[in-house]
Amino acid sequence: MSKNILSLENIEKSFGKVRSLRGVDFKVDQGEVVGLVGENGAGKSTLIKIISGLFPPDRGRILWEGREVSIGSVKKARELGIETVHQHRLTVDTLEVSDNIFLGREIKKSFGPFKFIDRAAQRRRAAELMEELGLDQNPGRLVSRCSGAEKQGLEVARALQFNARLLILDESTVGLNIEGIKQLRRFTNKVTSGGVGCIFITHDFRYILDLAHRFVFMSQGRIVAELPNKDIDVKKLEEFIININLQS
Ligand SMILES: Nc1ncnc2c1ncn2[C@@H]1O[C@H](COP(=O)(O)OP(=O)(O)OP(=O)(O)O)[C@@H](O)[C@H]1O
Ligand SMILES: [Mg+2]
């Protein structure tokens, strides 16, 4: 049996009168790909933002490898090994590609008592990463000159750079072309077979049909169903999702 990485218990979150999460229990094990599915506004991104330290839950417990933690900040989430590609991009257009990848976690070199950002090393590492991901990108290029798909690829590259224990992809296929999606799937497969856990959110579950070990369905701030991947096909999933939406 795989070891548990993350467990959420009874998580609640409201924004004013909107109850975005109404008592969510959710877990991810080592090497597991969890497909998180649900209609617009179901609460998927809110759940992800809590796990990535963007804001705390109003109520509930978060356990990381069995120990209760308060994630509190993006920095803390990253220290735990949680790397997230958010639905709405966080790239900085005025910086170059490699600077974006290392933003806040720059490679430094010393010169006497001083420390400088080692841009050449960052560009080298960024180029390697781009190659691994099959992205045809110049690390020295300004982000403002990249296409939507390239920016998305850049976010994925950033998430993969830092030895994640848990990789979260929130609608990361949006803006990618078919080749990019294939690369993302291959990479997800590669890192998860090495033990990294993954939460994969996508509106088009065909992309994760053979990738996710388990599907978790959210609706109106709740988890309404969970299905293991075995015996699932597109038709069954579509019927299942329609039924859930009709009931809610
Ligand atoms: N910062 C915020 N302030 C106010 N309301 C918010 C905020 N973030 C989310 N919400 C509300 O919480 C609910 C859940 O939103 P969330 O973005 O988590 O849904 P989602 O499942 O990710 O949807 P989508 O599939 O469209 O990305 C929605 O009603 C949304 O309007
Ligand atoms: Mg969302």
- Does the pLDDT at position 9 exceed 90? yes
Which of 12, 17, 18, 54 should be mutated for ligand 1, with most atoms under 8 A from CB?
18
* High-pLDDT (> 90) share of the chain, %: 48
Residue count of the chain, please give it.
248
Sheet holding 82-85, edge to edge: 82-85, 166-170, 197-201, 33-38, 214-219, 222-228
Q: For residue 10, what pLDDT is reported? A: 98
CB of 219 within 6 A of ligand 1: the answer is: no
Q: For residue 1, what pLDDT is reported? A: 62
| The two structure tokens encoding residue 49 | 């933002």
Q: What is the largest CA-CA distance in the chain?
A: 67
Q: Spell 155-168 as b/e; 16+ CB within 10 A means b.
A: bbbbbbbeebbbbb
Strands (E), 30-149: 33-38, 59-64, 67-69, 82-85, 108-111, 114-117
In the reported structure, the alpha carbon of residue 152 is separated from the centroid of ligand 1 by a whole-number distance in angstroms of 21
What phi, psi does 53 have (nearest 5°)?
80, 15
pTM score, two decimals? Answer: 0.88
Q: C-alpha angle with apex 44: 75 to 169, nearest 5 degrees?
A: 55
In the reported structure, the alpha carbon of residue 200 is separated from the centroid of ligand 1 by a whole-number distance in angstroms of 17
Query: Sign (positive/negative) of CA torsion 92, 97, 99, 104?
Result: positive
CB of 38 within 6 A of ligand 1: the answer is: yes
> Residue 103, Cα to own-chain centre: how many angstroms?
17
- CA 38 to ligand 1: nearest atom: 21
* Tens-place pLDDT, residues 147-202: 777 787 788 788 877 778 999 999 988 877 787 788 788 888 888 988 999 999 98
- CA 171 to ligand 1: nearest atom: 27
User: Looking at residues 42-52, what average pLDDT do you find?
Assistant: 96
Which protein residues have a CB closer than 5 Å to ligand 2 (ion)?
44-45, 87
Long-range contacts of 188-194 (CB under 8 A, 24+ apart): 188/33, 191/160, 191/164, 191/167, 192/31, 192/32, 192/33, 192/167, 193/31, 194/31
User: Looking at residues 63-72, what average pLDDT do you find?
Assistant: 94
**Could you tell me which of 23, 37, 9 has the C-alpha nearest to residue 216?**
37
Q: Quick check: 217 and 34 in contact, CB under 8 A?
A: no
Among 23-32, 33-42, 204-213, the range scoring the smallest mean pLDDT is 204-213
Rounded Cα distance between 20 and 12, Å, is 8
* Mean pLDDT over the full length of the chain: 88
Q: Where do the domains of the chain lie?
A: 1-81+166-179+199-248, 92-164
| DSSP annotation of 142 | B
Hey, which CATH number is domain 1-81+166-179+199-248, 3.40.50.720, 3.40.630.30, 3.40.50.300, 3.30.70.1450?
Answer: 3.40.50.300
| The two structure tokens encoding residue 166 | 């848990």
Q: For residue 248, what pLDDT is reported? A: 61
Q: For residue 185, what pLDDT is reported? A: 87
* Tens-place pLDDT, residues 103-161: 888 999 988 888 899 999 999 999 988 887 777 778 888 988 887 777 877 887 888 77
CB of 87 within 6 A of ligand 1: the answer is: yes
Q: Grade residue 79 by pLDDT with cuts at 50, 70 and 90.
A: very high
| The two structure tokens encoding residue 245 | 């939406």
